[in-house]
Amino acid sequence: MCGEEEETNEHMLLFCPFVMSIWKHSVLRLDTLLGGNEGVGDWCNVMRGKLKDQSWWNIFWCLAWGVWLRRNAWVFERKRKIESEIIHKEICLVGEYEKSLEQVVIGKPPPPFGTIWKAPIARLRKLNSDVAIFEQQQNIGFGGILRDEMGDVLMACCGCVVGSFEVDVGEAMAMR
């Protein structure tokens, strides 16, 4: 998009001058060069250590999503989005999300049969996965999320596999 470098994950999400400006001028005031040039995952881990409050972490991921949507708007629609629009939109999104959580907590009864997610004991991790079977399209969608004892997300993934599978086979594939 900037025409200065080849589009890699690192350049697109961290090192493009336009993207660096988004991270720097957001309320988080993040330096994308902090921690060297190891990669996006390493930078996210450094930021995880810095952003202890859940609200800041929500803003971080919304900004990352905004950067991704900005890239897609350019690649697929040739629309250029300005920095302030992206920052404003993502901050508003976090505000709406947090407000909806307050309404849910106040108005919703607890789920039956102990279906509330419970954190693992200290130093263990918990992996939750699920699968969706789309018989008409002859494929399955799956996802997983790995959390630590604090409930913080360590890793998440999703994917799609073409083919027709039984539910138990799909669940096993999601765990794998």
Domain limits for position 33 = 9-107
| 130 and 101 within one domain | no
Residue 108: its pLDDT value, please?
Answer: 58
Break the chain down into helix, strand, coil percent, rounded to 5. Answer: 50, 15, 35
- Measured distance CA(70)–CA(53) in Å, rounded: 26
Dihedral sign from CA coordinates of 158, 161, 164, 168: negative
Assess if residue 4 is contained within a domain. no
Structure tokens at 32: 């994308």
| 68 and 101 within one domain | yes
Q: How high is the mean pLDDT in each 10-residue block of the chain (176 residues)?
A: 82 89 91 74 85 87 92 90 90 86 61 70 87 84 88 87 85 84
- Indicate the pairing of strand 126-134 with strand 139-147: antiparallel
Q: What is the CA radius of gyration of the chain?
A: 19
Assess if residue 36 is contained within a domain. yes
| Number of domains making up the chain | 2
- This prediction's pTM: 0.56
| 14 and 101 within one domain | yes
| 29 and 99 within one domain | yes
User: Which residue bears the tokens 């999703």?
Assistant: 158
